[in-house]
Amino acid sequence: MHLSDRVQDACPSVAWKNIRGFRNFVAHGYAEIDRAIAWKVVIEDIPSRAASLSDLISTDND
């Protein structure tokens, strides 16, 4: 899903560049992925980000 600049600008504290970089790293398999780091992202980072951004995503698609 692509998030508009408006959504990204509304959440300046989110490390958008890091999120894109992690996605690209995983999707393109640039190197062996450290599963411990990936698991930490899945368990700790994604749920909290998803919860805080869900309202912005739905309003951006209206």
3-state SS of 1-62 is: CCCCHHHHHHCCCCCHHHHHHHHHHHHHCCCCCCHHHHHHHHHHHHHHHHHHHHHHHHHHCC
Closest CA to 54 of 22, 7, 17: 7
pLDDT tens track for 29-61: 766 778 888 888 889 888 887 777 776 666 655
- Its pTM stands at 0.54
Q: Please write the tens of the pLDDT for every residue from 13-34.
A: 888 888 888 888 888 876 677 8
Rounded to whole angstroms, the Cα distance separating 15 from 30 reads 21
